[in-house]
Structure 1
Amino acid sequence: MHILQPRHIRLKKEEAEELLKRLNISVSQLPKIFITDTALPEGCQKGDVVRMERKYEDKIYPYYRVVVGSLNEKKNG
């Protein structure tokens, strides 16, 4: 991982469900990240929720994405 790249952490199913409940949203309302993104942790699958941690000054700010298929998949399917 590069020092400028945010840390990516795949959430467990229970953690993702709790996050969605806390934010009162559905998984389809989360921003997307392609499964082909090289920053994703190994083993990520479509539908997984990933927490990314951006560091700004002395604080860490989490943000979330849902893993989706690649652009090529959408064009072919």
Structure 2
Amino acid sequence: MGTSLDVLKHEMVPDHQIMDEEEVAELLATYHISLEQLPKIYHDDPAVKAIGSELGDVIRIVRESRTAGRAEAYRLVVKRPKK
């Protein structure tokens, strides 16, 4: 069998971090939103699987940006709908 790829080490994959409950509460309060209003990311996304995330987790995605320096995005882990 061939070698496996560590998706988190690929140069095009930004840093993915599971946020703790306190961080999530602060995020939601800061933006005056509910958990369900966050953008979604599927539970079977390779980076989500690689960090050991579970349904309902909130992921912080940190990208390096030439214009902003550092950009953070947030995603709620959800199950992919059946076709």
Q: Does 1:38 align with 2:79?
A: no
Gapped runs of 5+ residues in structure 2?
Answer: 1-7
CA distance in 1, matches of 2:51, 2:63: 20
Q: Does 1:29 align with 2:37?
A: yes
What is the root-mean-square deviation in Å for CA atoms of aligned residues? 1.5
Q: Structure 1 residues 37-46 or 17-26, which shifts more? A: 37-46
Higher-Rg structure is: 2
Mapping of 1:7-18 within 5 angstroms? 7-18=15-26
Shift of 1:10: 0.5
- How many residues get paired? 73
TM-score (norm 2): 0.79
Shift of 1:68: 0.2
Please name the residue that 1:69 is paired with: 79
CA distance in 2, matches of 1:8, 1:43: 11
Gapped runs of 5+ residues in structure 1?
Answer: none
User: Structure 2: which amino acid aligns with 1:54?
Assistant: R
Shift of 1:42: 2.8
